[in-house]
Amino acid sequence: MKKWLILPLLLSLSLTACTSGMELKKHTFTFELGADVFANPSLYVKNPDKYDLRNAKVISNSKGLSKVENHFVNEQKDYLACGVYEFTLVDGRTKIPFKVKVKDTQAPNVRYNPTEIKVEKGEVPDFQDAFQATDLSGANYDATWDTTTSGTSNVTVRIYDRFGNSVSKEVQLVVE
């Protein structure tokens, strides 16, 4: 009879020990803009195989976030915008706060790479149409050109986002 009383006690102590020593892999997790930030606790827990995480949850403490299909998003977007967000890993009485930092470190994605752009004399070149760059932070174009006289010149077009990530492309500007 004593064996049957001791067994549940040992089992409950071992389960308590498993959750009380839970640690996160780190206190701040960094993600690239556009990457999924999942609500899966095992992604954040150090040695997740050591713990029963079936009842564990990742909860957002930051305003304006939603959980959609097991990942967190900003309202009206399907990703988290750049910034720092606060979360809590909750497993029973164990609550461990952590942060997620979302950064944009990637240059805009240039869809087309033309070797030549033709314009009429006095016309402003349409670099957006020529390169069709995209970026979640927006794509801007910077170049110095002269279309006041006919001829061909080499132009360096800098394509950048609002965080300063950029790529430069060479193109021949043909003024007719």
What's the full length of the chain, in residues? 176
Q: What is the 3-state secondary structure (H, E, C) of 34-100?
A: CCCEECCHHHCECCHHHCCCCCCEEEECCCCEEEECCEEEECCCCCCCCEEEEEEEEECCEEEEEEE
113-150: per-residue pLDDT in tens? 999 999 999 999 999 999 999 999 999 999 999 999 99
d(CA 142, CA 91): 51
4-8, 70-74, 76-80, 152-156, range with the lowest pLDDT? 4-8
Give the structural domain span for 88: 10-103
Of the residues 103, 130, 145, which one is the last residue of a structural domain?
103
Residue with tokens 């892999």: 25
Same domain assignment for residues 120 and 158: yes
Q: How far apart are CA 90 and CA 1, in angstroms?
A: 36
Count of domains for the chain: 2
Same domain, 132 and 63: no
Confidence band for 21, pLDDT divided at 50, 70 and 90: confident
pLDDT at 12 over 70: no
Please say whether the beta carbons of 103 and 29 come within 8 A.
no
Note whether 55 and 124 are same-domain residues: no
Whole-model pTM above 0.85? no
21 and 79 belong to one structural domain: yes
pLDDT of residue 51: 94
CATH number at residue 61: 2.60.40
Structure confidence by residue, pLDDT tens digits, 42-99: 999 999 999 999 999 999 999 999 999 999 999 989 999 999 999 999 999 999 999 9
Residues 66 and 20 in one domain: yes
Q: Are residues 156 and 87 in the same domain?
A: no
Chosen domain end from 103, 129, 157: 103
75 and 143 co-located in one domain: no
Alpha carbons 65 and 79: distance in angstroms, whole number: 10
